[in-house]
Amino acid sequence: MRMQTDRENKTDEKSSGFSSVLKDKLDSINEKQITAENTTQSFISGEEVDVHKVMLDAEEAKLSLELAVQVRNKIVEAYQELNRMQL
C-alpha cells in the first residue's frame, strides 16, 4: 500500500479547490441563464413582469457568459504558452 506524501496531498487539495471553484462559477452562470429564460417566458406569457427586469436579467446572463468565455480563452492561451516553453 502506497502512502501519499504531503506534496501530493497539497496538489490534490489545490486541484479539488480549483475544480470546485470552477464548478461553482459555472453553476452560477447557468443559474443566471435559467433566470433570464424564466423571466423572459413570464413576460411573454403575459405575467406582470417589468420589462426592465427582463432586460437586466438577459444582459446579466449575457455578460456572465462572455466573461466565462474570455476567462477560458486566457486559460487556454496560458496553457499553450506553457507547452511552448523549453525547460
**CA 13 to CA 11: how far, in whole Å?**
5
Which residue carries 486566457 as its cell? 74
The mean pLDDT value for 67-87 works out to: 92
Rounded to 5°, angle at Cα 14 from 10 and 18: 175
What's the whole-model pTM score? 0.72
The alpha carbons of the chain give a radius of gyration, in whole angstroms, of 20
Q: Answer with the residue of higher pLDDT: 51 or 8.
A: 51
- 9-66 residue pLDDT tens: 555 555 578 889 989 999 999 999 999 999 999 999 999 999 999 999 999 999 999 9
Domain residue extents for the chain: 6-84
67, 68, 74, 76: CA torsion to nearest 10: -160
From the list 13, 70, 7, the residue with the least C-alpha distance to 78 is: 70
Which of 65, 61, 62, 55 has its CA nearest to residue 35? 61
pLDDT of residue 17: 87
Position with higher pLDDT, 10 vs 69: 69
| Average pLDDT, integer, range 65-70 | 96
